């Protein structure tokens, strides 16, 4: 394929070399004459393992050239990959001016081009950039998105220092777009790699890189705080984290990585608090660990605000224990929600098939007696009438039987989902806590 690559920095230079090696004809574009000149002499613009060889080989084969003229590059290629920088502004936003400048340049060039052109945004950009990019091209080219051109989002995941290796060994290739032919063309560039190609929504493709990098940053900060605590206690943190990583069921796994409601129960809050206090006792600040609790509390408040926003007083809560299938009410975030609602004068009816008041014992009973002393007045044993008699239904547990109660729920002012019940999502009165 004939491909132009805008931006000859870390991402662009690696893409030039690797795509040329895979048999494509590449024209690099940069505003820097210095970088263009380097490529036109068969030299890389960056220092990276193996990049010298692949740029030189591509240049000697005649598959690599570069120019400062965007128009020339667009006219002589079918697809343009945008790899220009997206640095932060002083107030923390992204500076997308380089990105949008290339949209103007490509738009102007497309005025004089007959054939369909595919643009691929490889730079890291905020959700909504793809749409605006298309609007700018439409304005400058006079062509319609989807007819004369398409804009596809395809984030780059490589790391500097192992960029060429990472280019050839991605964990996954992500493609988001609204034009099947254009997305297929982009996918064909990566079929030679041993990695799944995931076609997804444009905005998902745009935000994923931020989510990945934020999680990587969180992992580093978390491990460093563990290191600090272990060091103070003369424990080997490498032994600890090596063991931590051996648990691929709950630790290094998809477990707990789904948006949902706040955590609770008798273990997570207690043990997190214990670790933060251990750090504190050793004169250590552990801001990442300490803020987890605040984040959880914020999320809990969000559920109350969601109920409050519906402007109704009669609330049915389906599920009270900290998770489905148990009667453990200790530190259940749903008990907290019920307590807040009752305290603020809402009429709350609670149904939980696993909670039987007469069978609660020990710490479980003591906890609920303290938080919800009049729980018996709120408990219903009939889910159908609990739903029918109230205006807002809050669903706490994933095992909710949506099919059976769907007809009743349709009539309610609002369904507030804290558990993600797929079967209710398309109802107009449905709202998820964070989706
Ligand atoms: N560096 C990485 O490890 C990495 C990894 C993945 C994704 N990314 C993302 O990829 C993007 C590029 O990063 P980078 O590190 O390669 O940036 P970079 O600063 O190394 O290179 C950007 C290049 O774009 C050029 N440029 C600016 N405006 C241009 C225009 N109108 N036309 C042509 N060229 C233009 C600049 O002169 C520069 O050479 C960023 O969004 C970055 O966040 C970077």
Predicted local distance difference test score (pLDDT) of residue 90: 87
Which tens digit of pLDDT belongs to each residue from 263-304?
A: 999 899 999 999 999 999 999 999 999 999 999 999 999 999
Structure tokens at 279: 């750090």
Residue 91's pLDDT band (cuts 50, 70, 90) = confident
Report, as residue numbers or ranges, the catalytic residues. Answer: 267
Is 123 a member of any domain? yes
Residue nearest to atom 10 of ligand 1 (CA): 123
Q: Using one digit for the tens of pLDDT, what is the confidence trace for 330-349?
A: 999 999 999 999 999 999 99
Residue 286 structure tokens: 């552990």
User: For 177-207, what is each residue's pLDDT tens digit?
Assistant: 999 999 999 999 999 999 999 999 999 999 9
Residue 243 is assigned to a structural domain of this protein: yes
Give the pLDDT score at 266: 87
38 lines ligand 1 (CB under 6 A): no
Both 362 and 253 in one domain: the answer is no
Same structural domain, 323 and 350: yes
Q: Is the pLDDT of residue 77 over 90?
A: yes
Whether residues 241 and 372 share a domain: the answer is no
* pLDDT of 390 above 90: yes
Let me know whether 163 and 210 are in one domain: no
Residue 307, pLDDT score? 98
Q: How far is the CA of 47 from the centre of ligand 1 (A)?
A: 15
Same domain, 19 and 165: yes
Domain presence at residue 287:
no
Taking CA atoms only, the protein residue closest to ligand 1 atom 44 is: 11
Sheet holding 414-417, edge to edge: 347-351, 314-318, 392-395, 414-417, 430-432
**284 in a domain, yes or no?**
no
Residue-level pLDDT at 54 = 97
In the predicted model, what is the mean pLDDT of the chain? 97
Write the burial class of residue 158 (CB in 10 Å: 0-12 exposed, 13-18 middle, 19+ buried): buried
Distance in Å, CA 65 to ligand 1 centroid: 18
User: Residue 10: CB within 6 Å of ligand 1?
Assistant: yes
**Distance of alpha carbon 129 from alpha carbon 147, whole angstroms:** 19
What per-residue confidence (pLDDT) applies to 261? Answer: 96
Range of the domain at 80: 2-200
Q: How many CB atoms lie within 10 A of CB 167?
A: 25
Distance, CA of 351 to CA of 215 (rounded, Å): 37
Express as a percent the part of the chain with pLDDT over 70.
100
- Spatial separation of the C-alpha atoms in residues 116 and 182, rounded to whole Å: 9
Query: Is residue 184 located within the same domain as residue 236?
Result: no
- Number of domains, the chain: 3
Looking up residue 416, the CATH number of its domain turns out to be 3.40.50.720
- Quick one: pLDDT band at residue 373, thresholds 50, 70, 90? very high
The string over 281-291, giving b where at least 16 C-beta atoms fall within 10 Å of a residue's C-beta and e elsewhere, is eeeeebebbbe
- What average pLDDT does the segment 1-24 reach? 98
Which atom number of ligand 1 is nearest to the Cα of residue 70? 32
d(CA 368, CA 36) in angstroms, rounded, equals 70
275 is a domain residue: no
Residue closest via CA to ligand 1's atom 17 equals 85
Strand-by-strand arrangement of the 197-200 sheet: 64-67, 25-29, 2-6, 79-82, 117-121, 149-153, 173-176, 197-200
Tokens representing residue 18 in the block: 């690797």
Same domain (yes/no): 101, 146: yes
Q: Give domain status of residue 291, yes or no.
A: no
Buried b (16+ CB within 10 A) or exposed e, 385-397: ebbeebbbbbbbb
Count Cβ atoms within 10 A of the Cβ of residue 199 and give its class: 0-12 exposed, 13-18 middle, 19 or more buried: middle
Ligand 1 pocket check for 11: Cβ under 6 Å = yes
State the maximum Cα–Cα separation within the chain, in Å, rounded to a whole number: 83
Tell me if the pTM is above 0.75: yes
DSSP strands (E only) in 101-191: 117-121, 149-153, 173-176
Q: Output the pLDDT for position 56.
A: 98
Question: pLDDT, tens digit, for every residue of 40-62?
Answer: 999 999 999 999 999 999 999 99
User: CB of 83 closer than 6 A to ligand 1?
Assistant: yes
Span 113-143, pLDDT tens digits: 999 999 999 999 999 999 999 999 999 999 9
Each residue's pLDDT tens digit, 225-261: 999 999 999 999 999 999 999 999 999 999 999 999 9
Domain end (from 200, 224, 242): 200
Q: Tokens at residue 253, please?
A: 């796994």
Question: What phi and psi values does residue 36 have, to the nearest 5 degrees?
Answer: -60, -40
Give the mutation target among 6, 8, 10 for probing the ligand 1 site: most ligand atoms within 8 A of CB. Answer: 10
Query: Which contiguous run of DSSP H or E holds residue 221?
Result: helix 202-232
Instruction: Say whether both 247 and 344 belong to one domain.
Output: no
pLDDT at 29: 98
84 CA: nearest ligand 1 atom: 24
Over residues 394-401, the mean pLDDT reads 96
215, pLDDT greater than 90: yes
Helix (H, G, I), strand (E, B) or coil at 370: helix
Percent of the chain with pLDDT over 90: 97
Verify that 12 and 159 share a domain, yes or no.
yes
> How many angstroms is it from 80 CA to the middle of ligand 1?
14
Kindly report the backbone phi and psi dihedral angles of residue 94, in degrees, each rounded to the nearest multiple of 5, phi listed first. Answer: -90, 140
Shared domain check, 150 and 117: yes
Q: Specify if 289 maps to a domain.
A: no
Say if residue 148 is in the same domain as residue 230. Answer: no
- Please check whether residues 217 and 304 belong to one and the same domain: no
- Answer whether 190 contacts ligand 1 (Cβ < 6 A): no
In a domain, 324, yes or no: yes
Which atom belonging to ligand 1 lies closest to the Cα atom of 46?
A: 20
Residue 234, both tokens: 């003369």
């Amino acid at each position: 394929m004939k491909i132009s690559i805008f931006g000859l920095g870390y991402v662009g230079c690696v893409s030039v070399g690797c795509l040329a090696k895979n048999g494509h004809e590449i024209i690099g574009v940069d505003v820097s004459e210095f970088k263009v000149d380097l490529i036109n002499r068969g030299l890389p613009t960056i220092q990276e393992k193996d990049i010298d060889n692949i740029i030189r080989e591509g240049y000697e084969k005649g598959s690599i050239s570069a120019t400062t003229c965007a128009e020339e590059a667009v006219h002589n290629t079918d697809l343009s990959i945008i790899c220009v920088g997206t640095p932060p502004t002083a107030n923390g936003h992204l500076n997308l001016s380089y990105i949008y400048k290339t949209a103007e340049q490509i738009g102007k060039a497309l005025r004089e081009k007959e054939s369909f052109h595919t643009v691929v945004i490889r730079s890291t950009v905020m959700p909504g950039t793809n749409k605006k990019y298309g609007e700018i091209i439409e304005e400058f080219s006079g062509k319609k998105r989807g007819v004369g051109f398409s804009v596809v989002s395809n984030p780059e995941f490589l790391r500097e220092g192992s960029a060429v290796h990472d280019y050839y060994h991605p964990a996954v290739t992500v493609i988001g777009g609204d034009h099947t032919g254009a997305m297929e063309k982009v996918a064909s560039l990566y079929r030679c790699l041993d990695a799944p190609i995931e076609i997804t929504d444009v905005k998902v493709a745009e935000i994923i890189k931020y989510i990945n990098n934020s999680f990587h940053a969180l992992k580093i900060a978390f491990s460093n705080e563990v290191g600090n605590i272990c060091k103070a206690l003369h424990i080997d943190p490498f032994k600890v984290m090596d063991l931590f990583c051996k648990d691929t069921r709950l630790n290094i796994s998809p477990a707990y990585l789904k948006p949902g409601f706040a955590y609770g129960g008798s273990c997570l809050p207690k043990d997190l608090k214990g670790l933060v206090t251990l750090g504190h006792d050793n004169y250590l600040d552990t801001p990442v660990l300490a803020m987890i609790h605040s984040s959880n509390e914020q999320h809990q408040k969000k559920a109350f605000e969601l109920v409050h926003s519906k402007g109704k007083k009669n609330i049915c809560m389906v599920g009270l224990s900290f998770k489905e299938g148990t009667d453990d009410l200790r530190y259940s975030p749903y008990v907290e929600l019920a307590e807040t609602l009752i305290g603020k004068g809402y009429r709350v009816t609670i149904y939980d098939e696993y909670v039987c008041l007469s069978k609660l014992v020990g710490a479980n009973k003591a906890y609920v007696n303290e938080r919800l002393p009049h729980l018996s007045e709120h408990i219903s044993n009939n889910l159908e009438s609990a739903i029918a008699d109230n205006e807002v239904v809050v669903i706490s547990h994933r095992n909710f039987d949506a099919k059976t109660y769907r007809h009743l729920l349709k009539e309610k002012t609002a369904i507030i989902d804290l558990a993600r019940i797929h079967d209710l999502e398309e109802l107009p009165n449905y709202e998820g806590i964070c989706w």
